[in-house]
Amino acid sequence: MDSISEPDWSKIASLDAELVRAFVVVAESGGFTAAARQLHRTQSTISLRIRTLEERLGAHLFMRNSRHFALSSDGENFLIHARRILQVQNEAIAALTRGSRGNVIRFGLPEDYAELWLPELLRAFYALRPGARPHIHCRTSLELLERLGAGELDLALVVRHGERAGGKPLARQELVWAAHRDFVLPVDAPVPLALFDESCTYRQRGLQALTAIGRDYQLVYTSQSPTGIRIAVNHGAAVTIIDRRTLPACWRTFDETHGLPALPPAELELHIAPTMRNEATRDLSALIEMLVSEHSGVMA
């Protein structure tokens, strides 16, 4: 591969910031596993981003073998420029929003909870802060945590991933197996499933529960969007996992009487960027806590 001792800015200008950020975090944390934990992504996702970055730059950024992991000479050189790219990006965002930053709040939450709570939340927030400008981001919980860590969000309502709480615990939501009301669950055949990708905690817990009781299953559909999951389930060919409160009217639930195991609840957390302590942010976070506690089982 060609050296990048002098960066080709035509290439760098087209680089996705997530690729550059992944490279910097891997280099600074000392490996893909540590970077995956820090960015709240899977190790395979981080590896893919580094491989994509190397392909676009036309250079090997790391030296890898079973005993050694280190930056290559090109990697050491690019790290200097990568840090500059991220710094310039942050400075540009800050410069554009400096005049109105107090009114702009970047809030992220999963799409299904946005449909459930966002209309009521925004009505209350606009009544309290008429001049506020909330920017809403609907992504998976892990993507939201990654964006929060990258300074791209001020608040994030997410489903906890892992044993330890990383944000403020708000509520537990009941998870259920669900399918279209016309769906017939096969008795002897594997359970056909429509689930999110492997980073989803619902999927992880559901598959573990099925395995624990020895129930066969088959992943027939995977999507990163609740809308995609609904399309598959409405087709009448798959079972999914969903918060009971977000259950569509045309769906029904399945439980132990149908041969499916009980599921652990979803634990909701509110994460606040440490640098975002203005009054509008505090008001929105208080409204989120109030709304969730009113409509959910409050954490013990």
Domains and CATH numbers, the chain: 9-96 (1.10.10.10), 99-172+267-298 (3.40.190.10), 175-264 (3.40.190.10)
Higher pLDDT, 136 or 200: 136
Q: What's residue 95's pLDDT?
A: 58
CA 291 to CA 284: how far, in whole Å?
10
Lowest-confidence region among 37-46, 79-88, 92-101, 284-293: 92-101
Q: Determine if the pTM surpasses 0.85.
A: no
pLDDT in tens, 46-82: 889 998 888 888 888 988 765 567 888 888 888 888 8
123-125-126-130 Cα dihedral, nearest 10 degrees: 170
Collapse the DSSP code of 236 into the 3-class scheme (helix H, G, I; strand E, B; otherwise coil) and give the result.
coil
pLDDT in tens, 109-138: 988 888 888 999 999 998 988 888 889 998
What percent of the chain lies above the pLDDT cut of 70?
85
pLDDT band at 300 (very low <50, low <70, confident <90, very high): very low
As a whole number of Å, the end-to-end CA separation of the chain is: 57
CA 45 to CA 52: how far, in whole Å?
11
Distance of CA 19 to the CA centre of its chain: 16
DSSP 214: T
Q: What's residue 97's pLDDT?
A: 52
Helix residue ranges, H only, 150-278: 201-212, 226-234
Phi, psi values for residue 270, rounded to 5°: -110, 120
CA 135 to CA 153: how far, in whole Å?
9
pLDDT band at 34 (very low <50, low <70, confident <90, very high): confident
Tokens of 251: 């769906």
Which distant-in-sequence residues (6+ apart) come within 8 Å of 204 by Cβ?
198
Lowest-confidence region among 163-172, 180-189, 217-226: 163-172
Most confident of 6-10, 55-59, 101-105: 55-59
